[in-house]
Amino acid sequence: MADLVERYVHQVGRYLPPKERADIEAELRSQIQDQLDDRYEGAPSQAEVASVLAEFGHPYQIATSYTSDQYLVGPALYPFMMMILRYGWLLVPAIIIFLNIFGALVTPPQTGLFNRVVDTVLSALQATLIFSAIVVLCFALIQHSHLKLDAKEEPFNPLDLPEVDDPHTVDRVEAVSGIAIGTLAALVLLYFLRVGGLTPRFNLTDPGEVIPVPQTWLLLSIVSTAGMIILNIWVLRRNRWSAVMWLAQTLLELIGVVCLYFVLYEPVFERLVVASPAFGSLPFANNIGEVLAVLSAIVNLLGNGRKLVRLWTESGSSAPPYAVPTNG
């Protein structure tokens, strides 16, 4: 059964570094075929293929046998971690610089240009270091989370392997990115809650001028962000999406969009209109927040809707949860 072999090889490849993946997959595929040819002449049955694959072991264990050294973040996860860090190293400083420039336009700076530039650089550096630490911590936790947590663990069954294009399969990079970015967002929101509103200056002792925001919506935004973090951690642990879990993710994201309107869009654009009356005379200037919120909600529904439909329609015939072994 070539399909079962390919599903097995594909699962092994998900835990391998991209540069080595193709060679290792080809070698593993050849080893499996040699075993099948030696034991069974002609076309083996699915049960016979499953028996051989069960002897090879869990895909995660096969992948780690090629990278047996001990690391804080091993070769299987390191390329994904660096990809996220590179995006963050570009995105986080850009966001901080934008917020500082926007803050200077909305509120006249009380310090000189040189001090303003220095504060912006230090804030960008601080946020980038915090983001990097969070990402490394998340990947390290995932790397070393393969400890035996349960007394009983189901034996590996090759027939439970998901299809290559199974919508239930978890994108590990996407999930870890969501955890890292969500954690950073939660810390920022907690800082805003502590200082009483929005400010581009991340300094508890001197946050600068603060734009007041509704505390209830800020708290709800923190709760929804924490919910998405917990959900992504649970999905990584379970290693499989379900329709209910994806629906919960979609609803949490929609709640986040609504909170973003009350916490960010509305207060920021109101302050911008007050500071720059000319901006308020532009078409739709008073409705930009609503437009952004509606567009964000539409993008979210379109992006998540297709997968939700597939998960819902295939939930009855999907394989059991395919969990990564918890013993390293």
What is the model's pTM?
Answer: 0.61
Q: For tokens 């379109």, what's the residue?
A: 302
All structural domains of the chain with their residue ranges: 1-68, 69-154+169-314
Alpha helices in the chain (DSSP H): 2-13, 18-39, 46-56, 59-66, 78-106, 113-143, 172-195, 215-238, 243-260, 266-275, 277-280, 288-314
Chain centroid to CA 120: 27
Nearest 5°: the CA angle 288, 289, 293 is 115
Collapsed DSSP state (helix, strand, coil) of residue 264: helix
HSE (side-chain half, CA atoms, 13 Å) at 41: 0
Q: Along the 328 residues of the chain, how does pLDDT read in single tens digits?
A: 577 888 888 888 877 877 888 888 889 888 888 888 888 876 788 888 888 888 888 887 788 777 655 567 776 667 777 877 887 788 778 877 877 776 666 666 566 777 778 878 888 888 888 888 888 887 787 776 644 333 344 566 676 666 666 777 777 777 777 877 888 788 888 888 988 888 877 776 777 778 888 999 999 999 999 999 889 888 877 778 888 999 999 999 999 999 989 998 888 888 777 777 776 666 666 677 788 888 888 988 888 888 888 888 876 554 555 555 544 4
For 224, the token pair is 């929804």
Please name every residue paired with 17 in a beta bridge, in sequence order, or none if there are none.
none
pLDDT value for 243? 87
User: By C-alpha distance, which of 25, 22, 17, 15 is closest to 63?
Assistant: 15
